[in-house]
């Protein structure tokens, strides 16, 4: 009997191969399942033991800190177990993932939530981490002023800890690195390099090779900006070597991108293209839009210098569109500059001018005058504090040198005296300036309190409440007495504060209007409206700033008016950085009010408005915010006065 013929002679072998593959698959699944079970058990132990230090938490959660799904699952468990430190850790690392995806809004919200919990726990490790991570996010989105505030706070807190942990030591270096990057953005390259070198020395002591790579890269970038291309290339190559040693692919992408820029500036587009083409796909896989936009724009630059204008335009526009979508203004500006060069090469001078103007506009937005002034003031202040500290150290060193080297005693003594004299003079001048400023502010606050606690207002308010008591209207008497006591307490509390939330100020205003309305037999109708999207609890204004304007409206506008008396308070958004508070009354107007006041036997001098304007000016000067106050007379069509409008412009802080 003939053997059966298989149409596919390799079929039995395939069946065996499939069986082996299935076996391998099931073994792999079993290992994966066992690994997941071990991971779950480790997480459960962590949730039960609840360690507080970063090191102990990181030991367990480090394998999942790039996995947002697992991190979010752990956050939910941490909430059930009331494990706040674990929740803070996970929130920060989810924030880091979103930051690297250029989703800066989500990243900021997560880091702020983590920071708030860490501050409630008084956990220095996580407070410093939260401050630093917020600094990094704001720097990436070109919010330089805010970034420096956060990183400076992180550095000061970390350095104040007597026995810092390894985690805190690393975050001191992160803060130094971030501050260096901010100085670099401002063009303060020597200050930036000084911070990077200090961080570099610390990272060497900690044997943190990743930190060594980062700071070598940053120093190279500063040297490149200063025009020292050979020195910059040396630092970039050193950083690349360390990144290759530790297998850091992301670091290698950054280094190769930077080295390609040196080649482009040396007019060596071929070498630049070789490097950039190596890292293009790797940069796409990192999903870090900040570095990807830079690689794409540099590829366009390299093709431009090689004469491939079509490819150059494609890459530059890709980079620009991604930077625009990801809200990275510095990269949009970088792309526009190169697109302008490209259009010049093509002979399209009108398009070149358009791109140049767009780049210039972004440049102005990123480095506007007020931000630069604020930043330079902070730099001078920070450097001044460092020099004062250095003078103290020098005095001690000089004393030691005097004991060791008696031959130079006179020279050293004179030097120490000169330094001490200069320091003393500077200190006295500073204290005198500070004292004068404090006296002026204190005087303003006292005037403000006297204007708020006007004796006539207190006396008349209590008389009105007394009438309720005499008329046996106990409910009204108790109701308004409660409001009166709350108002007095708010005025006393507010007099010691420089600023308050707009929501609290509006509550004080309502109390004041309710009390004043008793004296007008509740004839005054008032309305407070807030535009949708404005959150009063997030807006800060000088405390007790609205009451003088309302008092003016009531006593000089409405008191002499017959018929309906109205006050409208409208809060609207003027632009992205300011809100507008309008106080409108339908009184007799300023001109008629002045005439009435002149005819009075007892003239009441109102200084509340002037004091308030001076307080606003002082507040704006101290905090670099711009307030404005405008008083507008309102008229009917026939020219007859129909009230007054006060307009305050308040920055959203």
Q: Is the pLDDT of residue 331 over 60?
A: yes
User: pLDDT, tens digit, for every residue of 76-121?
Assistant: 999 999 999 999 999 999 999 999 888 889 999 999 999 999 999 9
**CB contact at 8 A, 625 and 651:** yes
* Burial category of 485 from C-beta neighbours within 10 Å (exposed 0-12, middle 13-18, buried 19 and up): exposed
Show the tokens assigned to 111: 């880091």
Is the confidence at residue 626, as pLDDT, over 80? no
In the structure encoding, which two tokens stand for residue 132, read together?
């630093």
Confidence (pLDDT) at 401: 65
The first and second tokens of residue 444, run together, are: 């303003």
- Architecture, CATH, for domain 32-160: Alpha Horseshoe (1.25)
pLDDT over threshold 70, residue 513: yes
Tokens 């700033």 sit on residue? 545
CB 169 within 8 A of CB 199: no
The model's confidence at residue 52, banded by pLDDT at 50, 70 and 90, is very high
Alpha-carbon dihedral 414, 418, 421, 426, rounded to 10 degrees: -170
Nearest 5°: the CA angle 576, 532, 546 is 75
Around Cβ 435, how many Cβ atoms within 10 Å? 10
CA distances from residue 609 to 455, 508, 551, 613 in whole angstroms, order as listed? 17, 17, 9, 6
Q: How far apart are CA 427 and CA 243, in angstroms?
A: 47
Residue 483 has pLDDT above 50, yes or no: yes
Mean pLDDT (whole number) for 496-500: 75
Q: Which residue has the higher pLDDT, 304 or 408?
A: 304
Mean pLDDT within 252-266? 93
Based on C-alpha coordinates, what's the Rg of the chain? 34
Question: Does residue 529 or residue 4 have the better pLDDT?
Answer: 529
Q: Please tell me the predicted confidence (pLDDT) of residue 8.
A: 42
Helix axis angle for 329-346 and 309-325, nearest 10°, is 160
Residue 132 pLDDT exceeds 60: yes
Residue 216: pLDDT above 90? yes
pLDDT the model gives residue 2: 42
What are the structure tokens assigned to 341, written together? Answer: 């060069």
Of the listed ranges 54-63, 342-351, 481-490, 522-531, the least confidently predicted one is 481-490
Predicted confidence at residue 453, as pLDDT, reads 46
Per-domain residue ranges of the chain: 32-160, 372-445, 453-651
> Would you give the end-to-end CA distance of the chain in angstroms?
96
The DSSP output letter for 583 is: E
Question: Which whole number is the average pLDDT over 570-593?
Answer: 86
Q: Is the domain 453-651 a CATH 3.30.70.260 member?
A: no
Distance CA 408, CA 17 (A): 89
- Band (pLDDT 50/70/90 cuts) for residue 150 is very high
pLDDT above 60 for 484? yes
pLDDT band at 129 (very low <50, low <70, confident <90, very high): very high
Whole-structure pTM value: 0.47
What's the CA gap between 585 and 645, in Å, rounded?
Answer: 7
In the three-class reduction of DSSP (H, G, I as helix; E, B as strand; rest coil), residue 90 is classed as helix
> To which residue do tokens 């207002």 refer?
457
Look-up of token digits 């990181």: 58
Write down the pLDDT at residue 50: 92
The pLDDT, as a whole number, for residue 546 is 83
What average pLDDT does this structure show over 194-209?
Answer: 90
Distance CA 293, CA 297 (A): 6
Beta bridge partners of 644: 585, 633
pLDDT of residue 1: 37
Select from 348, 283, 276 the least CA-distant residue to 309. 348
On the CB side of 203, how many CA atoms lie within 13 Å of its CA? 22
Residues 338, 300: contact at Cβ < 8 Å? yes
């Amino acid at each position: 009997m003939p053997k059966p013929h298989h149409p596919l002679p390799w079929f039995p072998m395939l069946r065996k191969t499939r069986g082996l593959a299935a076996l391998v698959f099931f073994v792999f699944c079993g290992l994966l399942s066992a690994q997941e079970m071990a991971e779950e058990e480790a997480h459960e132990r962590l949730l039960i033991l609840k360690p507080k230090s970063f090191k102990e938490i990181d030991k367990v959660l480090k394998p999942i800190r790039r996995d947002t799904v697992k991190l979010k699952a752990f956050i939910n468990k941490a909430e059930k177990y009331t494990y706040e430190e674990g929740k803070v850790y996970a929130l920060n690392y989810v924030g880091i993932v979103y930051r690297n995806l250029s989703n800066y809004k989500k990243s900021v919200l997560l880091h702020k939530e983590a920071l708030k919990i860490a501050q409630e726990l008084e956990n220095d490790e996580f407070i410093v981490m939260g401050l630093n991570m917020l600094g990094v996010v704001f720097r990436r989105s070109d919010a330089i002023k805010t970034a420096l505030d956060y990183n400076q706070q992180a550095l000061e807190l970390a350095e104040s800890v007597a026995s810092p942990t390894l985690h805190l030591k690393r975050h001191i270096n992160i803060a130094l690195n971030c501050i260096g990057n901010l100085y670099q953005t401002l063009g303060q390259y020597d200050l930036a390099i000084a911070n990077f070198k200090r961080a570099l020395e610390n990272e060497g002591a900690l044997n943190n090779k990743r930190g060594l790579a980062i700071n070598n890269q940053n120093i190279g970038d500063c040297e490149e900006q200063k025009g020292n291309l050979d020195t910059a290339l040396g630092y970039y190559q050193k950083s690349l070597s360390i990144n290759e040693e530790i297998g850091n692919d992301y670091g290698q992408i950054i280094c190769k991108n930077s080295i390609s820029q040196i080649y482009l500036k040396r007019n060596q587009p071929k070498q630049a293209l070789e490097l950039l083409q190596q890292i293009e796909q790797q940069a796409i896989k990192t999903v870090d839009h900040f570095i990807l936009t830079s690689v794409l724009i540099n590829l366009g630059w390299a093709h431009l210098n090689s004469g491939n204008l079509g490819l150059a335009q494609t890459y530059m526009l890709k980079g620009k569109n991604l930077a625009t979508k990801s809200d990275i203004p510095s990269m949009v500006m970088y792309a526009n500059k190169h697109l302008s060069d490209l259009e010049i090469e093509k002979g399209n001078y009108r398009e070149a001018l358009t791109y140049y103007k767009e780049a210039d506009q972004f440049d102005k937005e990123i480095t506007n005058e007020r931000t630069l002034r604020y930043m330079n003031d902070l730099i001078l202040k920070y450097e001044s504090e460092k020099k004062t500290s250095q003078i103290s150290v020098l005095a001690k060193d000089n004393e030691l040198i005097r004991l060791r080297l008696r031959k130079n005693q006179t020279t050293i003594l004179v030097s120490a005296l000169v330094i001490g004299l200069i320091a003393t003079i500077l200190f006295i001048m500073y204290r005198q300036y500070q004292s004068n400023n404090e006296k002026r502010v204190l005087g303003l606050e006292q005037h403000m309190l006297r204007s708020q606690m006007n004796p006539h207002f207190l006396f008349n308010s209590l008389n009105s409440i007394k009438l309720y008591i005499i008329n046996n209207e106990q409910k009204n008497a108790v109701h308004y007495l409660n409001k009166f006591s709350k108002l007095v307490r708010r005025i006393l509390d507010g007099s010691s504060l420089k600023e308050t939330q707009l929501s609290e100020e509006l509550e004080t205003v309502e109390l004041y209007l309710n009390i004043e309305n008793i004296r007008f037999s509740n004839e005054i109708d008032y309305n407070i409206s807030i535009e949708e999207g404005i959150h009063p609890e997030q807006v800060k204004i000088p405390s007790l700033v609205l009451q003088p304007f309302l008092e003016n409206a009531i006593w000089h506008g409405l008191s002499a008016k017959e018929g309906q008396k109205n006050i409208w308070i409208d809060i609207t958004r003027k632009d992205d950085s300011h809100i507008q508070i309008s106080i409108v009354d339908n009184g007799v107007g300023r001109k008629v009010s002045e005439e009435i006041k002149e005819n009075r036997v007892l003239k009441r001098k109102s200084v509340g408005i002037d004091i308030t304007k001076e307080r606003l000016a002082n507040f704006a000067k101290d905090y670099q915010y711009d307030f404005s106050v405008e008083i507008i007379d309102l008229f009917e069509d026939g020219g007859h006065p129909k009230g007054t409008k006060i307009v305050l412009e308040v920055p959203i802080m």
